[in-house]
């Protein structure tokens, strides 16, 4: 089609509608991909937190028991239990903190996608008026 030819308004509107539909479809595909990635990240973060918590519980119980028996030979039992508890906490804290930190980073991408989708819908509504 040459540049000097004018297209009918209905053809231009049909092209605009097709383009807007493709933009919306692309945004939906992007949102799905981001949600899938964030779900995988969330699962990884949750897994780390769960492993850390479970290990902390087992370790605390077993280490307290074993260490208290051992240390109570040399110091009072309550001091032995406190020492072992502090050691177990020092191991568990980084695991839990790492999982929580990664968990807190998951939200922004979905919010950005939702905002872009809202802007596209607003723009499309403005164009059709």
pLDDT tens for residues 11-41? 888 888 888 888 888 888 888 888 888 888 8
Residue 99 near residue 56, CB atoms below 8 Å: no
Residue 2 near residue 99, CB atoms below 8 Å: no
Q: Extract the tokens encoding 66.
A: 């074993």
Residue 53 near residue 96, CB atoms below 8 Å: yes
Residue 48 near residue 98, CB atoms below 8 Å: yes
pLDDT tens digits, one per residue of 62-91 = 877 887 788 889 998 888 888 878 887 888
Give the chain's mean pLDDT: 82
107 — pLDDT class (breaks 50, 70, 90)? low
Longest CA pairwise span in the chain (Å): 100
Q: What does the DSSP 8-state code read for residue 76?
A: -
Rounded Cα gap, residues 104 and 96, in angstroms: 12
Domain chopping of the chain, boundaries: 9-128
In 8-88, at which residue ranges do the beta strands (DSSP E only) sit?
Answer: none
């Amino acid at each position: 089609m040459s540049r000097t030819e004018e297209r009918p308004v209905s053809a231009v509107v049909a092209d605009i509608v097709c383009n807007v539909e493709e933009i919306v479809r692309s945004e939906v595909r992007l949102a799905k991909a981001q949600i899938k990635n964030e779900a995988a990240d969330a699962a990884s973060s949750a897994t780390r937190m769960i492993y850390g918590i479970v290990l902390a519980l087992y370790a605390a119980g077993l280490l307290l028991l074993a260490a208290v028996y051992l240390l109570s030979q040399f110091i009072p039992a309550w001091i032995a239990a406190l020492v072992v508890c502090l050691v177990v906490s020092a191991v568990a804290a980084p695991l839990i903190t790492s999982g929580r930190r990664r968990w807190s980073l998951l939200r922004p991408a979905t919010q950005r996608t939702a905002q872009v989708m809202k802007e596209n819908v607003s723009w499309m509504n403005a164009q059709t008026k």
